[in-house]
Amino acid sequence: MSAAPLASRNASDIGARDELSSLRGMLALLMLMTERGDEREIVALLASSVPSIARCRLVGIHEGESGWQPCGPAPLGVPDPAEQIAGLDSSGGPIDPGPTAWAYALPLRSFGGIFGYAVVAADEEPSSTDQLLLRLLAQQTGIALANARLHERERTATSELRSTNMALAETLGALELSTAIHARLTDVAAAGGDQSAIAQAVHDLTSYPVTIEDRHGNLRAWAGPNPPPDPYPKDLPRVRSAMLRRAMKAGTPIREGDHLLVIASPQDDLLGVLALVDPSGTAGERQWTALEHGATVLAMELARLRAVAETELRLGRDLVDELLSSADEERTLARAQGLGYDLLRSHRVVVVTIEDDRETEGFFHAVRRAALDLGVGSLLVARANSVVVISDADGDWDRMRQEVDRALGGGRCRIGVGGRCSRLRDFPRSYREARLALKVQSAAGRETQSTEFDALGVIRILAESEELSGIERFVDLWLGALREYDDAHGAPLVETLSQYLEQGGNYEATAHALSTHRNTVKYRLQRIRAISGLDLADPDTRFNLQLATRALQTMNALGS
């Protein structure tokens, strides 16, 4: 055998072995690309593999969504590759090589079609075998990129599904919790549970001590392992008002000191505060949910109580009006029996009045609350700037006045208490006596206080007298000259004399009662002695003068 054919056969075998080696490398590369899930890694493999397959390099990738993306340190030196690639079909094709000898756009195929091109360039055109291998590489790259995108979408969908499932589970858990809390509190409402039952239910659901307070911070219900603080702490009115405004604006539970609280307000003028005692601030979602549901049920209970109270007040007002106007006794008794009220017990008529009548509604509710708290009566009616209470008990009237003043934030009220009523026809008389007691207070110029008609002494006797002409003559005999002097000079001699006698002849006490100086009192008393010619040291004279001043007060009260 000649040497030439043998050399030819050996060269052919070497070429075949090179192609087989290239195909094996291509197969390994394709498998490696398929395993990659990141598009940047796939493109990097493509860029590093192109020079090993043919003497060329990867210049860039063009995709429909992201456009032209150069690879390597310098982009392809051709004018606008995107415009050239836009004109190619699915087979790709040569493009302007620019400074290089050859450039080609290889289609990136997948099972869904072509979604881009890989642009390669070389200093000389590769062989047909190398170009075939480049096409196969570009096709596999397209498949690998398509798989990577598919896997990414699957991962995204799986992640979104997992997030959705977690959110759904959380929502379902919150819904189940809310439903359980709502069911418990609804059962309380359906059973007619009062504020104590609501507080107990919220305590059972949260394990925290629970308080229900009114607008002013008074404790209305408590539930917890320990009894409430005694005395129960209350904020200053201005602090309380600021907290209520903040809570109303928030509309959700807020923290105030060691309390987590929420407002229950079914009406603008009706308000309750439901709170958890949580000094460590550990209350979580369950407690918040229970508190909000509890506020809803409390609002319903407050609205129910308001409706019942308004009905009772309306019926009670009608009954009080009949009692004070000497209406038909049989009809009045029937109305009282319908309300479940016993009128045949001993009663008194109490009149509470206020100097400032700008807050009539608040004044009425302050008197009603004080009367209920002190157990002195539940039948009330508002008349002008006063409230009439039908009292079935002997109360501490000074304490009641103080409670009303406190509720009004420092208001000044007076209380007049009429005599006992043993029969229905006694109520108008007791009402007149209560008003007279108030008038005597005012005529005497005394500070706000409570006055019982039965304790007026001689003034009561004078007030009950049907013939006043003799009383008028008695007053004129002892005080006529002083009254004329006061009228002519605008002087307060009669008032000074009255206070001096009421204070037992004590200069200091008289000066304090008149808000004047001790020396002024002495000067006025000298003028009184000079004008009247009376000896104020004589016991009989002082008795008659004091009787005359009290009679004058009674006449002024009756005249007003």
Q: How confident is the model at residue 209 (pLDDT cuts 50, 70, 90)?
A: very high
- Report yes or no on 179 lying in a domain: no
Same domain, 426 and 508: no
Same domain, 137 and 242: no
Let me know: does 460 contact 451? Beta carbons within 8 Å.
no
Angle between the 360-374 and 397-407 helix axes, to the nearest 10 degrees? 140
Same domain, 14 and 145: yes
Residue-wise DSSP of 508-546: HHHHHHHTS-HHHHHHHHHHHHHHH---TTSHHHHHHHH
Same domain, 7 and 70: yes
- Report yes or no on 339 lying in a domain: no
Res. 16: pLDDT tops 60: no
Supply angle C-alpha 434, 423, 558, rounded to 5: 25
Whether the bond between 107 and the residue before it is cis, its omega within 30 degrees of 0, is no
Q: Which of residues 432, 454, 476 is at a domain's end? A: 454
Q: Find the CATH number of the domain harbouring 52.
A: 3.30.450.40
Same domain, 32 and 116: yes
Same domain, 220 and 357: no
419-462 pLDDT, tens per residue? 888 888 888 888 888 888 887 777 655 555 788 877 776 666 66
- Report yes or no on 516 lying in a domain: yes
Q: Which of residues 308, 336, 362 is at a domain's end? A: 308
Res. 109: pLDDT tops 60: yes
Same domain, 433 and 474: no
Res. 141: pLDDT tops 70: yes
Same domain, 428 and 538: no
127-136 mean pLDDT: 87
Question: Which residues, including other chains, have CB under 8 Å from residue 301's CB and lie 6 or more apart?
Answer: 189, 193, 194, 195, 198
- Report yes or no on 316 lying in a domain: no
- Report yes or no on 262 lying in a domain: yes
320-351 pLDDT, tens per residue? 888 888 667 778 887 777 777 788 788 989 99
Q: Find the CATH number of the domain harbouring 537.
A: 1.10.10.2840
> How would you label 165-185 residue by residue, b for 16+ Cβ within 10 Å and e otherwise?
eeeeeeeeeeeeebeebeebb
Same domain, 90 and 130: yes
Same domain, 142 and 117: yes
- Report yes or no on 508 lying in a domain: yes
Res. 169: pLDDT tops 80: no
Angle between the 469-489 and 518-532 helix axes, to the nearest 10 degrees? 120
Domain extent for 36: 3-154
Residue 484 vs residue 319, higher pLDDT: 484
- Report yes or no on 325 lying in a domain: no
Closest CA to 148 of 52, 28, 45: 45
Token pair listed for 529: 């002695």
Same domain, 500 and 473: yes
Query: Which of 13-27, 272-286, 404-418 has the highest average model confidence (pLDDT)?
Result: 272-286
Same domain, 390 and 478: no
- Report yes or no on 177 lying in a domain: no
Supply angle C-alpha 438, 444, 446, rounded to 5: 80
Q: Which of residues 93, 126, 154 is at a domain's end? A: 154
Q: How far apart are CA 274 and CA 214, in angstroms?
A: 9
60-78 pLDDT, tens per residue? 888 877 788 888 655 555 5
Quick check: helix, strand or coil at residue 365? Answer: helix
| Count of domains for the chain | 4
Q: How far apart are CA 534 and CA 478, in angstroms?
A: 9
390-407 pLDDT, tens per residue? 888 888 888 898 888 888
Closest CA to 95 of 63, 122, 72: 122
Res. 12: pLDDT tops 50: no
What pLDDT score was predicted for residue 222?
93
Token pair listed for 200: 């107990």
Give the whole-number percent of the chain exceeding pLDDT 70.
Answer: 82
20-38 pLDDT, tens per residue? 555 566 666 767 776 766 8
Q: How far apart are CA 403 and CA 395, in angstroms?
A: 13
Q: Find the CATH number of the domain harbouring 390.
A: 3.30.70.270
pTM, 2 dp: 0.43
